[in-house]
Structure 1
């Protein structure tokens, strides 16, 4: 029996070490990816802002694009602090992007057609999705509550 006991202890130690190394690699990739996404978002926002200043004119499309960058930055910040991605923020980005498409299409292109109705329907569907997500999270809260620092509230 003692012959197998040392093997079992070694197996458990190896398993624990592999778990720790795997968790370290996953967390390192997680943080590197977050910093990369945050840096790229900030760079894109700055380049867009400088381009707008250089042109000397700012359109509603440009302002909505800056809002998209702001929402993406907020998503990265929230995900960095809590390790959770609120789906609402993705829906807000999608609504802003469709609104930007809608305004650009109406102000710069042809007369309204069925495509306009599709974009408006998409915005309505996304707004309804936000309502459903918010209602579901109110009615059926998660079993764990997490504060802004990422710690579980007891």
Structure 2
């Protein structure tokens, strides 16, 4: 007959180790989010001060501030929902490509095939947003919670 004490000891060690691991992971998670949020805010303020010192504001500068705004919104939404909204990353990418497009056309040589590549990238990202929005509407992620409050969808029940 097998002794049950090793199994009880294993289970007794598992719960505190699991709790400690969760504490470390969540602590790092929030520390990283605070860091990203602080760096984004700092970069936005530094860019704004630089624009004021320059004495003029270009469309490039305004689009850069929009990129910082979207990054800050992503961090805020992630804090509140614990989910990363992929659409915001796509918006940032479109804004960055638009900034590149405007800067290239207004500050450099005549438009060439590179202009078509950037416009094609913007079009692809816009299509990706359409696909993501359609998919989230058509196939929403739902969470089934049982009577005890446990998540039935995460496979731990």
TM-score with structure 2 setting the length: 0.89
The 1-side partners of 2:41 and 2:106 are apart by 28
- Unmatched segments (≥5 aa) in structure 2: 145-150, 152-157
Aligned twin of 1:37: 36
Q: 1:135-150 to 2 correspondence within 5 Å? A: 135-144=134-143
Aligned twin of 2:113: 114
The 2-side partners of 1:102 and 1:129 are apart by 19
1:142 alignment partner, SS class: coil
Aligned twin of 1:14: 13
Deviations 1:106-135 (CA, angstroms, capped at 9, x unpaired): 000000000000000000000000000000
2:3 alignment partner, SS class: helix
1:85 alignment partner, SS class: coil
Q: Which runs of 4+ in 1 moved over 6 A?
A: none
CA RMSD of aligned residues (A): 1.4
2:4 alignment partner, SS class: helix
CA shift, 1:93, in A, is 0.2
CA shift, 1:69, in A, is 0.2
1:35 alignment partner, SS class: helix
Deviations 1:72-105 (CA, angstroms, capped at 9, x unpaired): 0000000011110010000000000000000000
TM-score with structure 1 setting the length: 0.91
1:4 alignment partner, SS class: coil
Q: 1:90-129 to 2 correspondence within 5 Å? A: 90-129=89-128
CA shift, 1:17, in A, is 1.3
Deviations 1:21-58 (CA, angstroms, capped at 9, x unpaired): 11111000000000000000000000000000011100
The 2-side partners of 1:95 and 1:32 are apart by 28
Identify the structure with bigger relative contact order (alpha carbons < 8 Å, sequence gap 6+): 1
CA shift, 1:6, in A, is 2.0
